[in-house]
Amino acid sequence: MYDSGKIITGLIIFVLLVTIPVWYNRGTASNVPEPELPKDVKTCVLPKAEITAKHMQLLNQWRDEVIRTGDRSTLEIEGKQYPKSLMLACMKCHTSKVKFCDKCHDYASVKPYCWDCHLAPVE
């Protein structure tokens, strides 16, 4: 225990370094962005909570069905037809990539690969 001062100092520095992400993000976690939703459309392909959590699974499923199996059938939800398409279904209502997609993806630090193949809508 001759070096207790060095050990305690080292432990304090270690704890500070390990908790930097907590201190850095303090107060910003509650500022979850609200994407700008279309004004004239009341329904989506899925309920809001479900589409928010599972939109990438839905888009990947549509991609697999259209590209890999050639199934271009439409979905009918509450009497409305939705084609299996990012551009013809999703971006028809959500016209602003910046105001809708980028808000949440930037917040979550996610870089979706949708725009590797699709053309981003002109703002």
Mean pLDDT, the chain cut into blocks of 10 residues (123 residues total): 86 94 74 80 83 90 91 85 87 85 88 85 73
Q: Kindly state whether residue 61 falls inside one of the protein's structural domains.
A: yes
The terminus-to-terminus CA distance of the chain in angstroms comes to: 66
CA atoms within 13 A on the CB side of 73: 6
Q: Kindly state whether residue 21 falls inside one of the protein's structural domains.
A: no
Q: Kindly state whether residue 18 falls inside one of the protein's structural domains.
A: no
- pLDDT on residue 30: 65
- pLDDT on residue 14: 96
pTM for the full predicted model = 0.67
Q: Kindly state whether residue 122 falls inside one of the protein's structural domains.
A: no
Q: Kindly state whether residue 110 falls inside one of the protein's structural domains.
A: yes
Look at the block and give the residue holding tokens 């001759």.
Answer: 2
Report the number of distinct structural domains present in the chain. 1
Look at the block and give the residue holding tokens 């979850």.
Answer: 32
Classify residue 90 by burial, with Cβ atoms within 10 Å: 0-12, 13-18, 19+: buried
- pLDDT on residue 5: 87
- pLDDT on residue 13: 96
Domain containing 103: what range? Answer: 39-117
- pLDDT on residue 16: 94
Q: Kindly state whether residue 13 falls inside one of the protein's structural domains.
A: no
- pLDDT on residue 8: 93
